[in-house]
Structure 1
Amino acid sequence: MAMTMSSVVRRGAAELVAPARATPYEFKPLSDIDDQEGLRFYRSGIYLYRRCAARDGVDPAAVLRAALAEALVHYYPLAGRIVEASPGRKLLVECTGEGVVFVEADAAAALEELGEVTGPPVPRHEEFLCEPDGAYVAGGVVGRPLLYFQVTRMRCGGFVWGFQICHCMADAAGVVQFLTAVSEFARGVPGAPTVRPVWARELLSARRPLPFVITRSHPEYESVPDAGRDKISPTDALVHQPFFFGRREVAALRALAPPELGARSSRFDLIAAFMWRCRANALQYDAGDVVRVQFVVNARGRGRNGNGPPLLPEGYYGNAFLFAVAESPAGELRHRPFGHALHLVVAAKARAMEEGHLQSVADLMAARGRPRFTVARTYVVSDLTWSGLPNVDVGWGRAVYGGPATATLATFHIAGRNVAGEEGVEVPMRLPAPSMERLTREVARGLAGVHAMANTGACIAARL
């Protein structure tokens, strides 16, 4: 029986946790990749930890509060506040050392009462987060705390750790780097974090002096014609459904593609192209409607020209990604083979990885007033399977779940398991109920034959 969290969670008063020791007062400009209108929001995550007998009697809230204060000595910009400069709406961090929000809470319920959590949305996530979890909060991010922590002690001896962090400060890799530092202090690892934080945001800033040079095409920041004719809106009544892709499902997708293309396509490419096609069909776009898939390409570990020494040093925790965009008339996506969608995705990724593309995005941000990326008729997806989010151990062992707290119209690829225990990729989706029913049929039709090859319960149909 599912619990009613609102009746059993008791929050204490919010407090500010400052760095454990004095930190510099200074202004630190964000990069022009950080400083996008579309990143001026708080991204959330939740960790679920079971009781650890060796830690009985230890208060996880006290441990995490102390560890957070130590981590903020090294990541002191997170304890500051964002200010907006004129002209150009440029964001800077005023490193005030004021601190981040920390809330203790207690729940008269056990973790088991949440059920098996494999992906977002985490049941009753709103009770485990300090603030309402909306994509864009009223008032934006200027002048607000940049990080919110809530630790909820559960009746079973386990606990829930929820966090919300300003996306302008860090991407998924940066968030994990910071949370890993917190976890090291929580486990008593002496000294500084294993990975030392590096600011270096100037490496991803617009070129100076003027004029800015936008050398690439960036459709992700261009309006879609007739955007109001989209088939879906965040205000619609939406249902949630996860889709699982294990070894058999991925092999089936690879077999659907032309041999050469299938062989050089990543698991992400295959699943993203497949779900883009299925989703567009489920939403029943008109044949002439141009639909898009927009996905994140990580810039870490790459040189300026795609090879050579990395542009970004180890320890860089700012946003280091760009969007790749593929588009097609919905009719072509519907009637042409799967290889058509896959080719578009692979080509879009290649374009985004070309020399100068990331710098061109930075210049575009500064030159055009930091436009928000387009979402109309667009399937937005990000790969978190590589992020290490589930691996953050604060001394209570591996989390039962560690990942996004909520699901939106944008989605993720996250590490997951099916009902048979097979590891693979889970893709949480949100759509209106009639569209979700059609999406379920589209996915099953596209993976026809997988069920026959799989053990009972191990196929995609068993996840729906």
Structure 2
Amino acid sequence: MAPCYVPLVFFYKNPAPTEGEKIFDLLKSSLAHALTRFYPLAGRLLSSPSGSLPVVHCNDEGVPFTFAAGGGESLDSFLRGGPEIVDSLQRFLPFPAHMVGTPAGIESAPQIAFRATVFPCGGVAIGVCLLHKVIDGHTVADFMRLWAAIVRGGNERAVAGGCGPFAHNRGATWLFPARVGDVVPSVEDLECEGGGKKKNVTRRFVFDEEAVSSLKVRARSERLPKPGRSEAVGGLLWKSAVDAAAIASSPDGFKAGSVYSVAGNLLD
């Protein structure tokens, strides 16, 4: 895994407006409780003596957790915004998503960090930056489910997870080991053919349940009789990007070869 922070933002509605300070205290205490089940997240990475895979030093150094007010805007009005809301998601993160650099530079970096933003309506945005070296999507999903169960006062023991995901299916780790020196370049650093750089644009597309169902029907084939949501939506976006690139780069609409890459979960 490349040593970089991956950003995630979770939005939660609250039908009964609550004082921001009370929400923060509840989230803070429940976060500390959840970390006892996922104790490696509170540690720091250390380079192994052999110089191969890093190890987690479980020193209980903790995780950053900050709090912010959402201003005068309600959560509903924010989520109903257009594509431009993508550019404003950064304010919900604990710090900018960035490359950490070499393994030597990540030894003092937290494994994960959180930022809670409370809207006037009582809605909450939880921003997460996870270090994509030991933590993966499977682990953070289990952690967020556990944290939510503790906040609700539910049965946390019924929630799967804990330090177990870190030892899950260890064979996959040996088959596909992390390459310590790899650092994924930021999008801003990628150069175009012929040199130079182009402005990168981010767009947000919302597909409702009816649209996704329609795409799944259209994506059916003999080789793929039951396409999933990600396959149907991803296929449409990929096809659209290829078509747009062909129109922009060639008068006759010549389509160059392309590759669509999707990360897979090796823990199940």
> Structure 2-normalised TM-score?
0.74
Instruction: Name 1:129's counterpart in structure 2.
Output: 93
Matching residue within 249, 252, 259 for 1:292 = 259
Aligned partner letter, 2:48: A
- Is the Cα–Cα contact under 8 Å of residues 103 and 149 in structure 1 kept in the other structure? yes
- Is residue 104 of structure 1 aligned with residue 72 of structure 2? no
Distance 1:101 1:253, change over 3 A: closer
CA–CA separation in structure 2 for the residues paired with 1:262 and 1:195: 31
Aligned-pair identity (%): 20
Matching residue within 116, 139, 142 for 1:151 = 116
- Is the Cα–Cα contact under 8 Å of residues 92 and 117 in structure 2 kept in the other structure? yes
Give the Å deviation of 1:60.
1.1
Instruction: Name 1:77's counterpart in structure 2.
Output: 40
1:180-199 → structure 2 map (5 Å cutoff)? 180-189=145-154, 192=157, 194-197=159-162, 198=164, 199=166
CA–CA separation in structure 2 for the residues paired with 1:234 and 1:68: 42
Distance 1:261 1:93, change over 3 A: same
Distance 1:149 1:117, change over 3 A: farther
Aligned partner letter, 1:283: A
- Is residue 206 of structure 1 aligned with residue 174 of structure 2? yes
Structure 1: 4+ residue segments shifted above 6 A? 231-234
Instruction: Name 1:407's counterpart in structure 2.
Output: none
The one-character-per-residue Cα deviations of 1:316-363 (angstroms, maximum 9, x if unpaired) are xxxxxxxxxxxxxxxxxxxxxxxxxxxxxxxxxxxxxxxxxxxxxxxx
Q: CA RMSD in A?
A: 3.7
CA–CA separation in structure 2 for the residues paired with 1:150 and 1:182: 14
CA–CA separation in structure 2 for the residues paired with 1:180 and 1:119: 28
Structure 2 unmatched ranges of 5 or more: 178-183, 185-189
| Greater share of helix | 2
The one-character-per-residue Cα deviations of 1:47-94 (angstroms, maximum 9, x if unpaired) are 333343285687111111101111111110000001122544411111
Instruction: Name 2:28's counterpart in structure 1.
Output: 65
SS at match of 2:159: coil
Give the Å deviation of 1:168.
2.1
> Structure 1-normalised TM-score?
0.45
| Greater share of strand | 1
Give the Å deviation of 1:119.
8.7
Instruction: Name 1:31's counterpart in structure 2.
Output: none
Number of aligned positions between the proteins: 245
Distance 1:157 1:89, change over 3 A: same
CA–CA separation in structure 2 for the residues paired with 1:195 and 1:256: 34
- Is residue 277 of structure 1 aligned with residue 245 of structure 2? no
CA–CA separation in structure 2 for the residues paired with 1:274 and 1:253: 10
- Is the Cα–Cα contact under 8 Å of residues 80 and 93 in structure 1 kept in the other structure? yes
SS at match of 1:205: helix
SS at match of 2:199: coil
CA–CA separation in structure 2 for the residues paired with 1:246 and 1:121: 21
The one-character-per-residue Cα deviations of 1:388-418 (angstroms, maximum 9, x if unpaired) are xxxxxxxxxxxxxxxxxxxxxxxxxxxxxxx
CA–CA separation in structure 2 for the residues paired with 1:257 and 1:191: 40
CA–CA separation in structure 2 for the residues paired with 1:270 and 1:107: 35
Give the Å deviation of 1:96.
0.5
Distance 1:173 1:239, change over 3 A: closer
- Is the Cα–Cα contact under 8 Å of residues 68 and 115 in structure 2 kept in the other structure? yes
Give the Å deviation of 1:205.
2.8
